[in-house]
Structure formats: C-alpha cells, structure tokens
Amino acid sequence: MLFRQLFDRETSTYTYLLADEDTREAVIIDPVLEQLDRDVGLIHDLGLTLIYALDTHVHADHVTALGSLRLRLGARTVVSERAGVGVADLLVKEGDVVRFGRHGLEVRETPGHTAGCLTFVTLDRAMAFTGDALLIRGCGRTDFQQGSATTLYHSVHDKVLALPPTTSLYPGHDYRGRTMTTVDEERRLNPRLGGGKTLAEFVAIMRDLKLAYPAQIDRAVPRNQQCGFDPISLAATPARDWAPVEVTSAGIPEVAAEWVHANLGAFALCGVTLVDVREPDELRGDLPAIAGALPIPVDQIPGPLADAPRDRPLVLVCRSGGRSGKAALALAARGFSRIASMRGGMTAWQALPASA
C-alpha cells in the first residue's frame, strides 16, 4: 500500500494519503484547506484517483479541505454520522469499511474529544489513524464540542489500545516533531491514558489542564460542519446548480480545470459558454486558446455578452486565473448568476495529466 504522511506547520496537523498501488485508488485523512494545492499536486504526481476524503472529527484548529477536494477531484466526503455534518456524502458508523482498491479502513467510533470522533484502522490492523482521540503521549482536550473525559477514556481503551501491541498509531497532531507511535508504547508510556491510569485519575488530569480557548474554533467549527465551506457565504454565492462552484476568500467563484476538461464536450449541449479573457496575441502563444472559447479581453467585458441572459452559464479563462477572476466579479456586478473562473487558468489546464 502506498502511504504518505503530510504536515501543516501552522496547525501541527498531520494529513495521511493512502492508496492501492495497483488500482491507484486513494483516500486522504484530515486534509487541511491551506494545503489543498500541495495535496492535489501530490495526488496528480503519483497518478492516483482520490475516491474518498475523510475527517476523523469536526476540527476546531483548522479548516478542512474535504469539500474542496470533492469539487477539485470528485472525491466523496466521509465523516461520522454523529458529527453533525449533514452535507457530507457518506456518514459512517462503527464497523463500516471505507474501501479503496484491495484495501480498506474500518471505522471505529472513538468519541470523547468530540461527539463525532472516529479512528480509522487498516484491515490488517497494522495501522490506525486516531485523529485527536489519542495523540503521541497525550490525547485531545475534552472541554469543547460535547467532549467528555469519561467517554474518551473508554473510547481509547476499548477501541484503540485494544488493538495488537504492534499496531502503528498515527495521530491528528504532534507538537514535538514525532510522527507515530504504537499501541504498546501508549499502553506503557502515555502519561494520561497509559501505565494503568484509572478512569478517576484520567478525569482529574483532564479537569486540571486549564487550556486556553482554541484560537480558530469560532472560524473552523462552523466551516467544518459544511465540509470546509463558509456557511455565511454559501447563501450569497453564485448559483451552483450548473457546476461545482467554489468561492474563494476574495469572493471569486471558481471551478477546477479538471472539471472543465471533463465536461468541455457537453458545454454546447448544456448552454455553457467558455470565455477567454486574454489579449489576442496570447491566444496563439505557448498556451493557445481552448477550441470553441469565445475571445473577449478582460478590459472589454462584458462586450458581446452585454445583452446575454443573466442566467447564462459562463466559464472564464486566462493565463493563471487572475484576470478571469476579475472578469467573473465584473460580470457578477452586472447580474450574471452562473459564472466561474477556471482556477489556475491555462497554466493549470496545460499541467493536467493526459488522462484527466
């Protein structure tokens, strides 16, 4: 099995990419929104097809990339049925298996840090991805998001430390540069949950931690309950019934180059117009125009579209996405509701693999 451990330095978050080396089907666990381009690039580099994007829980310290991976790569989003994320594609529970190629991840419910925490265990019991339920020589806090020290104690002992002693454990975070541990190590050495600690001792430890209020919780939790999207902007964004539109922090509606490539043949049938907003000499340069694109330089927008129906679907393209984003905002200001800039522009288009 192909395995990669990735790290977000800002939040000390680990993301895990696993794939079947024969079928190239892959899953990703706990992806971070700020690392979206890195993760998508790695998936392309390794020639993988992302089948599922999973979160171990509703994170309070970073915004998840689940929804963005669904838009970019078509991955199905996976969270606990107890997490309160109704927009996810797959709500899982104890005993479910998330399969990719010949491999799979068994779902174990491990609440206590939050009510919807999951641990994902490989079918051979060689690896387990514990999220924040069990960290290396520690565990997640229990004072927010329906946390319970009593519940976490039983979850860890019954679902994680009950695995074989040699099972490798991969946490959601580490703040000291450590990358993994084992069941045997945590049984012996975890100062909160190992070494024979009783339930009463653990509850007392967690009660006396006196931790600071999570810095990103007010931003992260509402977005993560929407698979990473801003619930406020969702109501104000352009119509999404024609394309998987994702709105950036700057308010620019975007679609992935992969989606444009996959659906280009149906644009005419579906009434979607591709508009290239570059200058005329650029259309014959190193990044030539896509066949059938309507040329309208950005400074001439809306040009021939001035009298077009305001619900006409439009995909705007430039070299790298800057000018097409500007054009999208200009058209939105004129009342166009089905608009999107192609993320990364023709540079992203040219970088697509031949099979995209």
Give yes or no for a contact between 19 and 26, defined as CB atoms under 8 angstroms apart.
yes
Distance CA 338, CA 310 (A): 8
DSSP bridge partners of 192: none
pLDDT tens-digit map of 278-329: 999 999 888 999 999 999 999 999 999 989 999 899 999 999 999 999 999 8
- pTM comes to 0.70
What residues contact 172, with CB distance under 8 A and at least 6 apart? 13, 14, 30, 56, 59, 130, 131, 132, 135, 140
237-350: same fold as 2-224?
A: no
- 237-350 placed in CATH 3.90.1150.10: no
pLDDT of residue 234: 46
Q: Where are the alpha helices (DSSP H) in the chain?
A: 36-45, 66-73, 149-155, 183-189, 199-207, 217-224, 231-234, 257-263, 267-270, 322-333, 345-350
Instruction: Provide the phi-psi class of 195: left if phi over 0, else alpha when psi is between -120 and 50, else beta.
Output: left
Mean pLDDT of 24-42: 96
> What are the sequence ranges of the domains in the chain?
2-224, 237-350
Question: What does each C-alpha distance from 110 to 178, 284, 308 come to in angstroms?
Answer: 22, 57, 54
Per-residue pLDDT for 199 more than 70? yes
pLDDT tens-digit map of 241-252: 788 888 887 788
Q: Among the CATH numbers 3.60.15.10, 3.40.50.720, 3.10.20.30, 3.40.50.920, which is that of 2-224?
A: 3.60.15.10
